[in-house]
Chains A and B, each alone.
Chain A
């Protein structure tokens, strides 16, 4: 069973626009992580936010975490064609086990 749910399931945007996707989860967490997966490839870690943090930035990525609502959002600014991928949130509830959502498929149109 999967802890997280991403919303929307799919997103299509024009190059240069921002992309926002959301993740909701069910239980208390230690941290929440976002991963990217290009078609047919493994997952690449993007960013980690701890349960006592509210916002984090990394390059064109901005992640927020609201533990009272058990939700997180990932914003990709000024999107590029290379951002086309599936994005997954994963929650960590102990030292090691990650629980993934079903992912958001992002398509960036040139």
Chain B
């Protein structure tokens, strides 16, 4: 595709509900990142994949957060038993190996009520 796409763009969840956020990176991009952006703040790193391998998940805030990229392309960020503090924009980015510029998707805005 032309750029990184994410779905859904907006998600409203009731507290305790599980959600799944999808990221389609740019075709051929080896590396994929997830970030969380709270209102009025900059993005914060969550996790990083190189192909299907999750090389760094140090930014995941709790064990309720889980990310996967089973075939090295599309990635899913899953949040179990959502809490109000999970409300944020979740951004996905990809880059070609050995390049430094990350290309961001439009984000998924999650609101937990």
Give chain A's interface residues, CB within 8 Å of chain B. Answer: 2, 4, 31, 33, 35, 40-45, 48, 88, 90, 92, 96-103
Contact = CB atoms under 8 A, between A and B. Distances in A.
**Secondary structure of the B side of the interface?**
strand
Contact of B42 (A92, A96, A101): A101
B41 A45 contact: no
Contacts of A98: 33, 43, 45, 102
Contacts, number: 55
**Secondary structure of the A side of the interface?**
strand
B110 interface: no
Contact of B44 (A2, A44, A103): A2
Nearest to B6: A42
Interface residues of B, number: 24
A42 B106 contact: yes
Contacts of A33: 100-101
A96 B31 contact: yes
A98 B59 CA distance: 12
B45 A45 contact: no
A45 B48 contact: no
B18 interface: no
A4 B31 CA distance: 23
A48 to B, nearest CB: 6
B42 A45 contact: no
A9 B113 CA distance: 29
Given A31-B100, A42-B91, A92-B100, A99 B40 contact: no
